[in-house]
Homo-oligomer: A and B are copies of this chain.
Amino acid sequence: MKRYEGYLLDLDGTLYRGNEVIPGALEFVNKLKDSGKPYLFLTNNSFRTPEEVAAKLREFGYPAEADQVVTSSMAAAHYLKEEMNSPRVYAIGGNGLRTALKEAGCELTDRKPEAVVVGIDLDFTYEKMKKATLAIHEGARFIGTNGDLNLPTEEGLLPGNGSIIAGIQAATGVKPIFVGKPESVITEVALDKLQMNRDKLLMIGDNLMTDILTGVNAGMDTLLVYSGVTSPEDYEAADIKATHVIDDLRDWDI
């Protein structure tokens, strides 16, 4: 079996489910830390800052620092800096998004923005939808942190960022550019951080259509673990294939 020198890890469904840690995952990440091999946490959660994501992981017992976290908000900030030279942005989203955009040198404004960036926003309103729609009609580039249609919570499946975006897409007739998983922008941010060659890395996750596809899109090896969304039956029926498939992270040798 090929040995990898660095790891990219999904969170929800791979490391925890709701408020419960996933058996085997905690031991696995602790072994990773002890091995000295670098690892990053890749999340489509655009609402939280890296500090907040790391704090949540530490509550579960995971060894995690803010600089090991890559969010879809950081992917959006990376895209805007590299592709648009840190433009004026109208941002719909939480603190995680606003912080990432400001750190990338973008001015946040609702007056003649050059880009509209949409992440999950629990304070989303018609007024925000209207501002985004008018700006996109006037030529602002439309960027979505991620296209997830649902947000799994203890209350049930809530509307995800992709559903907020679907409304703005309907109003404008413009398709957004997505930057989170499974797009490769988020992996570019991770590769920048690690400064390692992608053929030495392994992407691990429970969701074939986001995590594993992220690895496939980025040209990296992948490990699908059956602890979350994708079942063995789903996997058998799918066209996308992972490099490795396991039931439980206890089964994986670093």
Contacts and interface: CB of A to CB of B under 8 A. Distances in A.
A162 interface: yes
Given A155-B134, A159-B167, A123 B126 contact: yes
A30 to B, nearest CB: 37
A71 B175 CA distance: 32
Nearest to A126: B124
B171 A156 contact: no
Nearest to A130: B158
A131 to B, nearest CB: 10
A164 interface: yes
Contact of A159 (B121, B126, B162): B126
A108 interface: no
Interface in A141-183: 149-150, 155-160, 162-164, 166-171, 173
A163 B159 contact: no
A133 interface: yes
A176 to B, nearest CB: 13
A158 B170 contact: no
Interface residues of A, number: 30
Interface in A33-85: none
B137 A156 contact: yes
A25 interface: no
A134 B152 CA distance: 12
Contacts of A122: 126-127
A149 B168 CA distance: 10
Contact of A166 (B123, B124, B169): B169
A129 interface: yes
B163 A168 contact: yes
Contact of A121 (B126, B150, B155): B126
Contacts of A134: 155-156, 158
A170 B118 CA distance: 16
12 contacts: A122-B126, A124-B129, A126-B159, A130-B158, A133-B158, A134-B156, A137-B156, A137-B157, A158-B171, A159-B171, A166-B167, A167-B170
Given A124-B129, A133-B163, 19 more contacts: A121-B126, A123-B125, A124-B125, A125-B125, A125-B126, A126-B159, A130-B155, A130-B158, A134-B156, A137-B157, A150-B171, A157-B171, A158-B171, A159-B167, A163-B168, A166-B167, A166-B169, A166-B170, A167-B167
